[in-house]
Amino acid sequence: MTFFIANLEDVKGVGQLPEFRDAMKDLEAAVQKRANDLWNGALPGGLFPTGEQYGMQPLRPPDMANDVADSTPSGTQSFRKNLLATTSSSTWRNLFNYTVRKDQVHGFAGLAVTDDVLRINSLQFVIGQHTFPIINIEEAQRYRRFAIVWKADKGRSLVADPNTAVTLGAYVESAGFQRVVPFGISVYRRPDLVITRT
């Protein structure tokens, strides 16, 4: 799995890096293919899919916070995590730890860290039975706000099927709040999954 780190403005701003556009385009194709495979040839259907269609939107905190049951999403309405230290030493903590709901597929193209202070130095995704390599992000200390973008690899993409556990672990160096926002896509079969307030 290859990645690059860049200023957040270069990834989401006016002069958007072509590598980020390519990563999002590749991810969109991957989640659409997975949705087509899982749901018998279903096609994109806008925000309100019907019949053999599915909707697409960015990943939301309620979809990814804590364990998400099929009936009611749990967790907070924020990607801001309190990385309180329970011991005096640094340790691994989960930024995301959830199960993809029955009628959704989630895909990840990268992450944005929008705080001025970086409190973590490494990240690791675990999707289902697949543990991805640990990536060190210490070079990001030179940026005020930054993004991590995964490049398309020939290997396994960061796409999670329905009922699949997803964990993003971070090695925490200092206690405090950290906002880590995923660049990704949620594909859903039922509109109630994205319009119900929790």
All structural domains of the chain with their residue ranges: 3-192
Q: And the tokens for 184? A: 């990704």
Contact indicator for 73, 190 with CB cutoff of 8 Å: no
Q: How many CB atoms lie within 10 A of CB 167?
A: 14
Q: What is the pLDDT of residue 70?
A: 43
β-strand partners of 5: 148
- CA distance linking residue 91 with residue 120, whole number of Å: 10
Tens-digit pLDDT profile for residues 78-137: 788 888 765 556 889 888 889 998 899 999 999 999 998 899 999 999 999 999 999 999
DSSP 109: E
Q: What is the pLDDT of residue 65?
A: 61
Contact indicator for 149, 109 with CB cutoff of 8 Å: yes
Tens-digit pLDDT profile for residues 143-158: 888 899 887 665 567 8
The closest alpha carbon to 111, from 171, 59, 160, 74, belongs to 59
Task: Tell me the pTM.
Answer: 0.87
